[in-house]
Structure 1
Amino acid sequence: MKPKIFIDGEHGTTGLQIRALLAERGDLEIISIPAERRKETAARAEFLNAADIAILCLPDDAAKESVSLITNDTTKVIDASTAHRVAEGWAYGFAEMDRDQAKTIASAKRIANPGCWPQGPIATLRPLVTAGLLPADFPITVNGISGYSGGGRPMIEDYVAKGEDASEFLPYGLTLQHKHVPELRAYAKLSHDPIMQPAVGNFAQGMITVVPLQLGGLDHVPSGADLHAAIADHFAAIKGGVVEVAPYAHLERMPEIDPEVYNGTNRMKVYVFANDKRAQALLLAVYDNLGKGASGAAVQNMDLMLGA
């Protein structure tokens, strides 16, 4: 019997991407609410409880409501909203975060799908804090650029309407209260809130995250090679992961560091650059904000939960 998958919010940006990724999957049964019943709470409850796995692609409050509508002990949940990312009882759906995280996801009934922006910084910072190369209270700043699909339907419609007149580089999060800060702090093992200042570009999807490090104030200043080795060792120990670590290199620029290079995939590639004389480093990650950053991660988590 094929597992039943219900995407609650299948007509939003993330939901549509998940439907596309699952379109050719003959091993699954995708169940959907009939169009005429789509706004009925009773219909949502019916389909949520009929599913083996429910994937929630909803605003936070609606996602919480969906969870409350599940009355059985069999439906497993993957929540793509922000609602449960640091909630007790929910496993964080970044399979490569730790050596045993994929097993944790596979055995969990409630998975909080990661946000797109925190995954790159978590991938580069967590191994360094774990290895003792960075203290938990190290001051962290995160910046970078994402495609406009990261802003959901309103931003997509705005950028498409403006076409070439849309902003090529639009900083946001200027109130320093970005919704992804709590999960970034928690899963990067930081003891203080980082500064997160993202930007959106005039392209649909893809992203680069950048974490600059001023290392000179540390009692023991790690070299760039030290940083790279810790990150590389972390991901080398994870079987079946989709995160790749680029070779350590001293280069002024690399054309392959393109925010759109992994679009349509679930891959992530991380880079370490450093100037040891200046005691400075940069940690970069490149991935698809709708792939590893959203829909692709949800499908990866679903497969882990199904034992695939």
Structure 2
Amino acid sequence: MTKRIFIDGASGTTAFSLKQALEPFIENNEIDLIEISDTRDVKLRQKASREADLVILCLPDDVTKQTIPFLRKYDVQTIDASSAHRDMPIKDKNFWAYGFPELNEDQPRKIANARFVSNPGCFATGAISILTPLIKDGILSKDAPNIVNGVAGYTTGGKKMVGNFEKPNNDDYLLSRAFSQYNLTKPHRHIEEIKNYSGLNTNPVFTPTILPIARGMIVSIPFNKASIPEEMRDQVTLETIQRTFEKYYNSPDSKVEILPLDPQRRSVNFGAFKMINEIKNAPPLDTVKIAVTGWDDGNEPQFIVYAMLDNLGKGAATQAVQNMKLMLKL
């Protein structure tokens, strides 16, 4: 039986990528999208929500907060792609689940049984995919002041940032934003999310950076002996770190891919995102690729683990599609 999906807030970058990711399901008659004539008409939105098997919210945080009580009243299964409720899977476990299926073995079941699923943030997806296995295997201390570096294309910032970068005759602006770090004077909204779902006891030090290209994201976490529990320091090598990730993400359904360990890998760059930036409206990519790098010879080893993902794909739209498949048993 064809399932009916309503995307509430269907005009932003995430919603556009979501529609692309849903096309194969529409072609196979697995789902049908409910369209409305005026996306700002509250009554039309509510009517479409009641008729849907699943609602996916692609709304600003404040509008999402106003919308959830209605969906809860009518018991509508919902995926929230905003950042408004990413703490709810901790506060209200009976109704909410965190929408990162690879978080642990039981997470797909939690998502499938939830009424509401909070879709993870893009930077958080990369950071959590690195931190969680390392902390659970005792390679990283829960209490260490972990550093999370995130570099991403400008679509990470939503419609307003896209508009700024894509204005005509915009060379001066692009040059001034060739390397742009932001959120320097207040906590980034992903910091608490990263701590909550990775297993950390303290907030990481997070530095997000925007580049003048549209899509792609690389999250990196560097660490040395100081961040490794004392009893594990002599046991941690590149090989043990690699095995930790290969073991953790060994499910056939996992969308986290572990790249082969390559001691000669001297750089990690945006080459993996060449296609999605050269082809206009390229379909979103649905995997996180993890690379383990560094050196473990001598007394001062250093490790850097990288997570590479499409911020509009596994960082948003295709992650929502993974959750949709679990919730609707597709």
Q: TM-score, normalised by structure 1?
A: 0.93
After TM superposition, the structure 1 stretch with the greater mean CA deviation from structure 2, 49-58 or 26-35, is 26-35
- Whether contact under 8 Å (1:48, 1:69) holds in the other structure is no
Aligned-residue identity in percent: 34
- Residue of structure 1 in register with 2:82 after alignment: 81
Deviations 1:126-145 (CA, angstroms, capped at 9, x unpaired): 01111112221111111131
CA contact (8 A) 2:149 2:219 kept: yes
Identify the residue that residue 157 of structure 1 maps to in structure 2: 163
SS at the partner of 2:249? helix
d(CA) in 1 for partners of 2:225 and 2:183?
A: 26
Residue 122 (structure 2) pairs with residue 116 (structure 1):
yes
How far residue 234 of structure 1 moved from its aligned partner, in angstroms, is: 0.2
| Structure 1 counterpart of 2:22 | 22
Q: What amino acid sits opposite 1:195 in the alignment?
A: V
Distance 1:192 1:207 in 2: 24
Counterpart-to-counterpart distance in 1, 2:272 and 2:64: 29
Alignment pair present for 1:209 and 2:222: no
Q: Note the aligned Cα RMSD (angstroms).
A: 1.8
1:149 partner letter = T
Residues 220-258 of structure 1 show CA distances to partners (whole Å, capped at 9, x for unaligned) of: 31222222211111001x231111111122125246763
- C-alpha distance in 2 between matches for 1:267 and 1:4: 26
User: How many residues get paired?
Assistant: 305
Question: Which residue is equivalent to 2:262?
Answer: 249
Alignment match, 2:307: 285
2:315 equivalent to 1:301: no
Question: Is the CA contact (8 Å cut-off) linking 2:150 and 2:206 kept in structure 1?
Answer: no
Cα 1:71–1:77 shift into 2, 3 Å: closer
- The CA distance in 2 between the partners of 1:262 and 1:72, in whole Å, is 43
Structure 1 equivalent of residue 244 of structure 2: 230
- Quote the residue 1:32 is aligned against: 35
2:216–2:270 CA contact under 8 A, matched in 1: no
Q: CA deviation at 1:21?
A: 2.1
Runs (5+) with no aligned partner, structure 1: none
Structure 1 position 115, deviation (Å): 0.2
Does the C-alpha gap of structure 1 residues 48 and 148 become closer, same or farther in structure 2, counting only changes over 3 Å?
same
Q: Which amino acid aligns with 2:131?
A: L
Give the superposition deviation at 1:4: 1.0
Query: In the TM superposition, what is the alpha-carbon distance from 1:20 to its structure 2 partner?
Result: 2.2
Distance 2:12 2:109 in 1: 29
Q: Does 1:275 align with 2:295?
A: yes
Instruction: Tell me the amino acid that sits aligned with residue 180 of structure 2.
Output: L
- 1:52-76 CA-to-partner distances (Å, cap 9, x unmatched) read 1000001111111111122555420
Any gaps of 5 or more consecutive residues in structure 2?
277-283
Deviations 1:61-112 (A, max 9, x none): 1111111122555420000011111112321111111122122211211100
Amino acid at match of 1:226: T
The alignment's TM-score, normalised by the length of structure 2, stands at 0.87
Letter in 1 for 2:225: L
| 1:176/1:196 contact within 8 Å kept | no
